[in-house]
Amino acid sequence: MIIIIGAGISGLTAARQLQGRKEFILLEKENYIGGLSTQYQANGYRFDFGGHYFHFQDKADIQTLVQKVCAFKKFNRKSKTFALDRLIPFPIQFHLSYLPTTVRNKIVKEIMENQFTPAANLHDFLEINFGKTLFELFFKPFLTKYYNIDLHEIIANMDRGSIPPPDKERIAAGAAGKKFFSSGYNPVFYYPASSLTHFIETYAKSIAPGRIHLNEEVTGVDILKKRVKTVNNEYSYDKLITSMPLKNLVKIIEPKNLFPYPQEFHHISTLLVNVILKRKRKRFHWVYLADRDIPFYRAGFYPVHPFPTCYLEKTVNPGTVIDHEKLREEIVFTLKALKLIEVGEEVAFFDARIIPVSYVLFTTNWPQVVPSSLEKLKEYGIYSIGRYGSWNYTSMSDDIKDAITCVRAFGDQEPFREKVPGPPKAFVH
């Protein structure tokens, strides 16, 4: 018996690959499938859990798979940075012509005088290679809000391309007015033409009834007896596939002395605010907020939604209690600063919730703790996959591929191919 923990995109992919090949059940703690890769309902509106999009660079097989599930829309990224009270195309270092002349010239001079220098931490890498002026203007205020820790504690070059390197030729051309809108790892992204919920429900149709058990939060894993405990039941397994956060997994593993303490795994928690506006004044997909006076680190518009809907994200401490009155003031202040609204009454509705584990932090202990923990888990027949299971920075396409590769490693598998979905199945507990 193979047990899968978590019915997000990774767990559902593993289940699809095991269907008809191996005996398995999938345990999900919520009363719905999809995890953060689906949507939720509030006040009659349907919202995403922030910006979750598909990227298919070097993953043509994954693109073929998901596009057989449902239709997708393709978008050329329109992202911005917000600094010095203005919107600047992303990445800011390639669009310096949008800055005041004195600031632009100073940044260009500092970058051109530098030689590319590797660094042990993110703070030094950015300050040395992009110069002090751009570092203080954008990178430091934005990333300090986002990570919520000293940037010296973050390893350099672990962001999977979200900070393009200081290409001096592009920087000079951008300072002269040339546009580089296709830079970075996600210049093109895809989103289901209908909704994420429709995609997830269709994606799960090929999983047989009775295989998905909802409301089954896992509370313990005995790796010697190969037993999984939930709030309701106890199960035996031969192999275990889990996409639950690695930090949470090591908390509940028995015996307790076999894995690092949970505090060795670092992450941020995100306050997600979804906002319905009465009208849409600007058109972009997302903007990175460097202004120190703005409490949020990112704002964005969903690419497919029946109403003008934006989202705001803010890093918070675990256990934070939401003060809705204060939060409304922060929402209005931020949207006015971005000129998305003129008066607070343009906010028709907002919903706020905290995502306890949203982004993994690549702190200086990550190389020593994470890879060795994942390998040690495999020795006990446990395969921890997905963004949170592998405690890494991955996209939904990465997670699908990771799950497929994991199941293939079990052996006796047919070649990777898309299953033909059957009729809709009921998800049962």
- For the chain, which residues make up each domain, given as ranges? 2-39+193-259+365-408, 79-185, 267-360
Q: How confident is the model at residue 262 (pLDDT cuts 50, 70, 90)?
A: confident
- For 302-324, what is the mean pLDDT? 93
Measured CA to CA in angstroms, residue 178 lies from 97, 98, 102, 133, 169 at distances of 8, 11, 18, 21, 11
Cα torsion angle, 393, 274, 205, 189, sign: negative
Residue 429 has what pLDDT? Answer: 26
Residue 306 has pLDDT above 60, yes or no: yes
Residue 427 has pLDDT above 50, yes or no: no
CB within 8 Å of 84: residues ≥ 6 apart: 99, 100, 103, 137
Residue 133 has what pLDDT? Answer: 97
Residue 421 has what pLDDT? Answer: 35
- For 99-109, what is the mean pLDDT? 97
- For 41-64, what is the mean pLDDT? 93
- For 251-273, what is the mean pLDDT? 91
CB within 8 Å of 142: residues ≥ 6 apart: 81, 288, 289, 290, 297
How many Å separate Cα 396 from the centre of its chain?
8
Helical (H) or strand (E) element with 196: helix 196-203
Give bridge partners of residue 5 from the DSSP assignment. Answer: 27, 242
- For 58-84, what is the mean pLDDT? 95
CB within 8 Å of 278: residues ≥ 6 apart: 308, 345, 346, 347, 348
CB within 8 Å of 25: residues ≥ 6 apart: 1, 3, 4, 211, 212, 213, 235
Residue 155 has pLDDT above 80, yes or no: yes
Tokens of 152: 């010296």
Residue 303 has pLDDT above 80, yes or no: yes
**pLDDT over 70 percentage in the chain:** 93
Tokens of 118: 């590797």
Dist CA 236 CA 240 (whole Å): 10
Dist CA 26 CA 211 (whole Å): 6
Residue 263 has what pLDDT? Answer: 87
- 59 and 401 in contact (C-beta within 8 Å)? yes
Residue 418 has what pLDDT? Answer: 39
> What CATH number should be reported for the domain whose range is 267-360?
3.90.660.10
Residue 88 has pLDDT above 90, yes or no: yes
Residue 356 has pLDDT above 70, yes or no: yes
How many Å separate Cα 222 from the centre of its chain?
29
Domains 2-39+193-259+365-408 and 267-360 share a fold: no
Measured CA to CA in angstroms, residue 308 lies from 89, 160, 175, 279, 341 at distances of 22, 31, 34, 6, 12
Across 157-167, b (16+ Cβ under 10 Å) vs e yields ebeeeebeebb
Dist CA 387 CA 53 (whole Å): 14
Dist CA 210 CA 190 (whole Å): 31
274: left (phi over 0), alpha (psi -120 to 50) or beta: beta
- For 159-164, what is the mean pLDDT? 58
Residue 139 has pLDDT above 70, yes or no: yes
Dist CA 336 CA 79 (whole Å): 18
Dist CA 370 CA 393 (whole Å): 12
Q: How confident is the model at residue 166 (pLDDT cuts 50, 70, 90)?
A: confident
Residue 12 has pLDDT above 50, yes or no: yes
Helical (H) or strand (E) element with 107: helix 101-113
- For 337-363, what is the mean pLDDT? 96
Dist CA 201 CA 224 (whole Å): 35
Dist CA 95 CA 104 (whole Å): 10
> What CATH number should be reported for the domain whose range is 2-39+193-259+365-408?
3.50.50.60
Residue 259 has what pLDDT? Answer: 83
Widest CA span in the chain: 67
SS3 29: coil
Residue 165 has what pLDDT? Answer: 66
Residue 412 has pLDDT above 70, yes or no: no
Residue 201 has what pLDDT? Answer: 97
The chain-wide mean pLDDT, for the chain, equals: 91
* Cα R_g (the chain), whole angstroms: 23
